[in-house]
Amino acid sequence: ALNAENELLKDLNEPQKEAVLHGDGPLLVLSGAGSGKTRVITRRVAHLVRLRGVFPWRILAVTFTNKAAREMRERLVQLLGPQAHELVVSTFHSSSSMILRRALKDPQVAELMGLTPSFVIYDDGDQLQIVKRAMREARVDPIMQPREILHRIDGEKNAARLPEQMVVDVDDARGVVVQKTYHAYQKLLRAANAVDFGDLLLLLVALLRQRPDVLEQYQRRFRHILVDEFQDTNPVQYELLRLLAPPERRPNLVVVGDDDQSIYRWRGASVDNILDFPEHYPGARVVKLEQNYRSDQNILDAAHAVIRRNSRRMPKKLWSDRPKGEHLTLLLNRDERAEAQEIARRIHGLQREGFIKYSGMAVFYRTNAQSRVLEEAMRLARVPYTLVSGRSFYDRAEVRDAAAYLRLMVNPRSDADLLRIINTPARGIGDTTVERLVDFANQSGVSLYEASAAPERIAGLNTAAVRRLSGFHALVSSLHVFAQESQDAASAVDQMLKETHLVESLQTEGSDESMTRAENLREFLGAAQEFDLNRAAAAVAASTAGDGDAEPMPPEEADLDTSPLTADIPPLNAFLEQISLVGDADAEVGEGRVALMTLHAAKGLEFDAVFITGMEDGVFPHSRALHGGESEDGGEEMAEERRLCYVGFTRARRRLFVSLAQCRSLFGELRYNPPSRFLAEVPQELFGIAEQDLPPPPKEAPFTKKKRNWADEDDGPRVDRTYSQAPEGDGVGGDVRGMRVRHEQFGMGRIISADGQGPNAKVTVDFGGQVGLKRVIARFLLPG
Ligand code: ATP
Ligand code: MG
């Protein structure tokens, strides 16, 4: 035991040990980026099991993404062996979903919630469809767009409010529209035996409030709850925690987070949860970690220079005994294409000379739309990369079709799925037939599937239409029967592909595109096979974990269900659940590949080298935040952008590149954005100076342009000079960045960076508008 203890506590500093060894009662670990919060959670879980004899099934560890959960599980398997499979390590959504499904096996609960255990989970595409139907059924005034209503409904759900709990003023016409639609929307979901993401939490909270017996089961079971990235919990998640771990019982609730990394306010997260935790959980111990193990000093200094400007922060110290490291590198580019190419070139350089592996590098952007140009440049330059937006595979039309069939297999009442595939592959069921079917179903108050059982009763259908509808009904019904008997996900997928002829219909089409789509469907089958294998491995591991375990079940817990939460969810349901819950940030960061992702998705990760693109006001910070009012830090939205910048910077271990473009096409619009204000907040001396002579604004490339060679750039020299000591001289000196200046030809501008000092220093100035960035000699500038 002593050895085990040593192994678990080695390479932890004092406050980290304190958090790992903390006995009973609530604990908050609050500290800056890279200080080992996530490590504390993992070690504490291992310590509880190995040294304090806590049964693994008593532990619930919540992470922010599925990817983070997977990493933590892998780590725990290393520390604990097969026992780790009995732990619940997952996201809020996925643990809620599992608990909900288990609870629904009780017919009374199912009755109360209006759902069965085989409910399906709708994504935002499905949601929008349902909102539109709900608007029609509730006959609301068309004064709002469906998307906007959906956004408001999601907001209500994040705030833990059901339609009847919404507070709406009678004069608030829009509020009334939202409330009415929300009501109808929930009814439609229940009729389809479906939930959306928000429901997973909201309905579980509602259930636990109404059924104290169910609540008590889980309160007794989960004696230890640990939450990573606590700063981004929203009210409904917090409510769930408070139900499972009521403050007055001094529960073993360990939360870790960093208020400076709260970046999901737009999804209803509230940084107050972390700031007020000691108040909500009186007697909570607070541990602060102060040593950063991740980033070189220059990078940390830059990150702090930016975050310091936010006014509402918890005081924190963060130091590092890592070296100062390299300077930050500022990349100035003509436009977004040049930016992407430059980054590709730097990546090659780092890989060749910097001994940094591709997998140790990442490129971040503020909005998804920026990724297209980056991807193109990576492909051209042959940089191996993965785009980290895990949904993309499951968002492809053909994959969504296949998933819709699978969902109908487990739940034929799912109207949205049925509508999606009723004529896919084409089987001659036209729009008119579908309309009549929908009308009939609405009038009879049954699902579309039920309505299609006796199509001869539907008015206005000719015999061909009737025949096709019954054929379709027979297909779904046969698949449904198959699903109930299938023992694994892959055989169900296989059967579905056979009976529906989805693959063949694409192959007959014969185009390159349709062949790729057919391949994707086979890949989908592959995903199901992989899922089955993992599930089997976990089941074997869990069943052998107890072997030789001396500890008997405590008698007072004899009636407690301690099986893994996934235990008897049918495999096809479990597979569907997994693919529904794949989130934005979940794609595997590929082996040997550079990761491209949004800043939001970068949370919790670390890389040797990080590139942040689009450092321009209007891109990052986002244009939404630019008009944030009078307050010194630029308002709440600007504060959030600044936190996002802090998150971005602190992902880097050794090299940080910040990059901007003089002009940029984004969202189909050409913009000349000024450099990001965050750049001006970073002290000059942290930058090495990237000298890039900016060629004149882009014009069409001549036809005869010689073939591009990445080694010798042909559109202007791009020299990167790094000054390791301060150059001498006078004239331009000190920190001139941000200073307003005037130039005879170019007009008024703002200094971005200076290269050298004195009257001959080269200064990069942003003259705004059509002129943009220029490099000029200091003596040609006048004070502005
Ligand atoms: P973030 O705020 O970004 O989520 P974090 O506080 O969760 O960061 P971790 O990811 O747990 O930090 O740790 C950051 C890095 O430091 C990791 O590579 C981790 O392995 C390492 N690390 C943490 N604690 C120590 C320690 N005591 N000794 C050496 N390395 C450590
Ligand atoms: Mg972390």
The CATH architecture of the domain made up of 2-99+203-291 is 3-Layer(aba) Sandwich (3.40)
Enumerate the domain spans of the chain.
2-99+203-291, 120-192, 393-519
User: For atom 9 of ligand 1, which residue has the closest CA?
Assistant: 36
- Residue nearest ligand 1's atom 19 by CA: 36
- Contact indicator for 438, 448 with CB cutoff of 8 Å: yes
Question: What is the assigned CATH class of domain 393-519?
Answer: mainly alpha
> Ligand 1 pocket check: which of 8, 28, 38 to mutate, most ligand atoms within 8 Å of Cβ?
38
Using CB distances shorter than 6 Å, the residues near ligand 1 are: 11-13, 16, 33-39, 258, 261, 293-294, 604, 606
Three-class SS of residue 11? coil
- Per-residue burial over 675-686, b if 16 or more Cβ lie within 10 Å, else e, is bbbbbbbbeeeb
pTM: 0.80
Q: How far is it, in rounded angstroms, from Cα 208 to Cα 220?
A: 13
Residues flagged as binding site for ATP: 31-38
How many A from CA of 221 to the centre of ligand 1? 30
Task: Write down the pLDDT at residue 546.
Answer: 55
pLDDT value for 691: 45
Q: Rounded CA gap, 497 and 380, in Å? A: 36
Catalytic residues: 37-38, 228-229, 261, 651
Which backbone phi and psi does 515 adopt, to 5 degrees?
A: -65, -45
Q: Which residues surround ligand 2, an ion (CB under 5 A)?
A: 37-38, 604
Q: What local confidence, expressed as pLDDT, does residue 741 receive?
A: 81
Q: If you take atom 31 of ligand 1, which residue's CA is the nearest one?
A: 293
Distance 265 CA to ligand 2 centre (A): 18
The answer to whether the complex's ipTM is over 0.90 is yes
From the CA of 650, how far away is ligand 2's center (Å)? 11
Judging by beta carbons within 10 Å of its beta carbon (0-12, 13-18, 19+), is residue 248 exposed, middle or buried?
exposed
| Lookup: tokens for 34 | 């890279």
Q: What is the pLDDT of residue 758?
A: 64
- Looking at every residue in the chain, the average pLDDT score rounds to 86
Q: How far is the CA of 604 from the centre of ligand 1 (A)?
A: 10
| Closest ligand 1 atom number to CA of residue 32 | 2
Q: Look at residues 365, 269, 279 and name the one whose alpha carbon lies nearest to residue 602.
A: 365
Ligand 1 atom, smallest distance to 604 CA: 4
Residue nearest to atom 4 of ligand 1 (CA): 604
Residues 6 or more apart in contact with residue 87 via CB below 8 angstroms:
45, 49, 56, 57, 59, 61, 73, 76, 80
| pLDDT of 632 | 60
| Segments of the chain scoring below 70 in pLDDT | 1, 389-392, 544-551, 583-591, 628-634, 689-736, 756-760, 784
pLDDT confidence of residue 583: 62
pLDDT for 704 equals: 28
- Amino acid found at 382: R
Question: Minimum-distance ligand to the CA of 37?
Answer: 1
Which residue has its alpha carbon closest to ligand 1 atom 21? Answer: 293
Q: Rounded CA gap, 100 and 203, in Å? A: 8
What are the angstrom distances between the C-alpha of 684 and each of 294, 299, 725?
A: 22, 13, 12
Residue 340's alpha-carbon distances to 331, 346, 647, 648, 676, in angstroms, are 11, 10, 22, 18, 18
**pLDDT tens-digit series, residues 5-63:** 888 898 999 999 999 999 999 999 999 999 999 999 999 999 999 999 999 999 999 99
Distance 2 CA to ligand 1 centre (A): 24
Which residue in 117, 95, 111, 118 sits closest to 211, CA to CA?
111
* Closest ligand to the CA of 647: 1
CATH of domain 120-192: 1.10.10.160
